[in-house]
Amino acid sequence: MSDPLDVSVIIVSWNTRDILRECLASVYAETRGVCFEVIVIDNASTDGSPEMVKRDFPQARLVQNTHNRGFAAANNQGIALSAGRYVLLLNSDTIVLDNAISKTAAFADVNPRAAVIGCRVLNRDRTLQPTCFMYPSALNMLLSAGYMYKLFPYSRFFGRERMTWWHRDDVREVDVVTGCFMWVRREAIDHVGVMDESFFMYGEETDWCCRFRQAGWKVLFTPDANIIHLGEASSRQATHKMRLQLSGSILYFLKKHRGTPEYVLACALTAVFFLVRIPGWLLKGCIWGSERSRSWRVVRMYAAGAVGALRGYRGLCVASRHEPCSAPRPV
């Protein structure tokens, strides 16, 4: 009889072949002391990612989607196929360090009320990459739009949403664990359900963490485990579209979890956020001819975002579909 699975590692990928190879190699090289499986959900990549997985990592289970289903839906596919008592949602642009998966499993075992656990995330040069944050709110949106967290990074008020004052050096209960490394308890998934697939990309982990906490579970951060996160390897392929998608996801979260007044206020704040940036980009395009084409694309994006935000989160989702982009929608 085979040993029971401790953790199912689910990796969603869209056109990230080379860094996906690095991620998978680190999972297999740096995971000891636990029984695990790896499930790769490929969202219709065209860069040879599925062929690479089949050739270099035949022990991994590969699912090839015929179209890009988005991050939440693809992870839900993996969860449905998984057998571990824990599920680890791991971005394809991460590198597992120093037995991080086993360390997180040990932490989870002694914290049975933790539905979700996040670990310490580093940049490639091993500097700290701040993760975990507060839920979106109209106040947090206002502070973020004014970049107050950059001006006063050690202020618990101005840096509240991104928790910029915290060095990620102690165990702490948080609102949201960042989705690049999201350790989730099977029992909690059975209790609360899987990710909300209405979030195509961005916001799905925020919504999930909120639902877990509403159901009485904890969301914890531990500094014991470390990974490297290269950052936005898929989303940078469609930057303008993703800016609209991110704003739409925040508004959808507020509509779902906050009252109508705050949602309406957030829609207005989002429209203002886009509008006030248009003059600067128009001026840049006029002064620097080499930047004219890019500036015009950004102006179009901000104009579409402003109009879309006034129509609510659905308006931003529609705008993102019409935003010109040479790449398909990322995971």
For the stretch 108-112, contacts whose Cβ atoms lie closer than 8 Å and that sit 24 or more positions apart, written own/partner, are 108/183, 108/185, 111/218, 111/220
DSSP 8-state code for residue 8: E
**Do the bridges between strand 86-90 and strand 181-185 make them parallel or antiparallel, or are there none, so unpaired?**
antiparallel
Distance between CA atoms of 109 and 212, rounded to whole angstroms?
A: 18
- Domain-terminating residue out of 186, 211, 229: 229
Domain assignment of residue 33, given as a range = 7-132+168-229
Q: What is the CATH number of the domain that holds 198?
A: 3.90.550.10
Q: How many domains does the chain have?
A: 3
Q: What is the pLDDT of residue 329?
A: 33
**82 in the same domain as 179:** yes
Question: Residues 193, 195, 198, 199: what is their CA dihedral angle, to the nearest 10 degrees?
Answer: 160
**72 in the same domain as 54:** yes
- Does any domain span residue 219? yes
- Does any domain span residue 205? yes
- Does any domain span residue 212? yes
- Does any domain span residue 331? no
**59 in the same domain as 97:** yes
- Does any domain span residue 310? yes
- Does any domain span residue 11? yes
Q: What is the pLDDT of residue 288?
A: 81
**174 in the same domain as 121:** yes
And the tokens for 177? 């664990």
**122 in the same domain as 201:** yes
Helix (H, G, I), strand (E, B) or coil at 298: helix
**200 in the same domain as 61:** yes
**204 in the same domain as 149:** no
**125 in the same domain as 29:** yes
**124 in the same domain as 76:** yes
**209 in the same domain as 157:** no
**172 in the same domain as 160:** no
54 alpha-carbon distance from chain centroid: 26
- Does any domain span residue 330? no
- Does any domain span residue 328? no
Q: What is the pLDDT of residue 289?
A: 75
Work out the burial of residue 32: count CB atoms within 10 Å of its CB; fewer than 13 is exposed, 13-18 middle, 19 or more buried. Answer: exposed
pLDDT tens-place values along the chain, 331 residues long: 456 799 999 999 999 999 999 999 999 999 999 999 999 999 999 999 999 999 999 999 999 999 998 889 999 999 999 999 999 999 999 999 999 999 999 999 999 999 999 999 999 999 999 999 999 999 999 888 888 888 999 999 999 999 999 999 999 999 999 999 999 999 999 999 999 998 866 789 999 999 999 999 999 999 999 999 997 544 444 466 677 888 888 999 999 999 999 999 999 999 999 999 999 988 888 888 777 888 888 898 899 889 999 988 887 766 555 443 223 333 3
**270 in the same domain as 225:** no
Work out the burial of residue 291: count CB atoms within 10 Å of its CB; fewer than 13 is exposed, 13-18 middle, 19 or more buried. Answer: middle
Angstrom distances, CA of residue 10 to CA of 22, 77, 82: 15, 9, 8
